[in-house]
Copies of this chain bind each other. A is one copy, B any other.
Amino acid sequence: MFNAIEEVRDRTHWLSDVDPLRHPGAPDARIAFSQRIVQTLDLVQSSAALQRRLVHAGDTIYQAGQAFENLHILSTGCAKIVSLSADGREQVVGFKFKGDWMGFDGIADACHRCDAIAMDTGEVWTIGYDALLAGCAKAPALLKLLHAAMSHEIAHDRDSLMSVCTLPAEARVADFLLQWVESMAKRGLRTDAITLKMTRAEIGNYLGMALETVSRTLSRLARENIIDFVEKGRRDLRIADPQALQGFVRRYGVV
């Protein structure tokens, strides 16, 4: 049922062409992504009335249970999306950055199913869903961007599931760092020093492991000189050896 590794490799060659995001040396898609953000922000501004709001760490952008009316775009800053279950479990299902849309989860049932909470100072643009649809009717390019954003979110969520299901804990942390750097690179933000905006508990929750495991893994990566902690605080770090970090993921990936 599940193919031999070589066979799978044959079938995944295309990934290097289509999704060079994870493959250094092919920055085309990164530039395309960066342009898409600019394009989105421009087009949204010109096509629909929007409300700008300055948010700070801890501010609620929307909340599970609220009636769905608006979509949101993070024009700058960083936010987390937390899903709640009926029996009280909570799960960080994603982190959002500059240019990301938020609130798609609410469309289906006209009610948000997650909390969106700012983790840093930033600006949120809020657009009425109906107004946005009206804008899309006039500017088809806007609709395409909207669909691309939703599609991207679906693909990303699946990548998360893949990571949690197929990688052991330490490799998931390494993969998380790689994705973080990639996210920054795609947005044209600095990648030489990265600042994790969230606690170990939030990372652990997102990756499906105990916060202690996150801490231990980061310590190990630092001990092996794959990452460096930058002076004070343990939230600022530098990827000293990206190759080794990738190796860390792959070593455990297939087995």
Contacts and interface: CB of A to CB of B under 8 A. Distances in A.
B154 A86 contact: no
Contact of A89 (B87, B157, B166): B166
A65 interface: yes
A207 to B, nearest CB: 8
Contacts of A109: 18-19, 29, 155
Interface stretch (A4-12, A41-49, A182-190, A236-244): A4-12
**A64, A87, A153: most-surrounded residue (chain B CB, <10 A):** A87
Contact of A88 (B5, B29, B154, B206): B5
A87 B15 CA distance: 10
Contact of A148 (B108, B147, B161, B249): B108
Interface stretch (A197-205, A213-221, A226-234): A197-205
Contacts of A160: 161
Contact of A104 (B16, B111, B150): B150
Interface of A: 1-3, 5, 8-9, 11-12, 14-16, 18-19, 22-23, 29, 64-65, 83-91, 93, 104-109, 111, 113-114, 133, 137, 140, 143, 147-155, 157-162, 164-167, 199, 201-202, 205-208, 249-250, 253-254
Given A150-B151, A161-B161, 15 more contacts: A11-B65, A11-B84, A12-B84, A16-B86, A18-B65, A18-B109, A19-B113, A83-B161, A83-B162, A88-B253, A89-B253, A105-B154, A108-B155, A133-B143, A165-B207
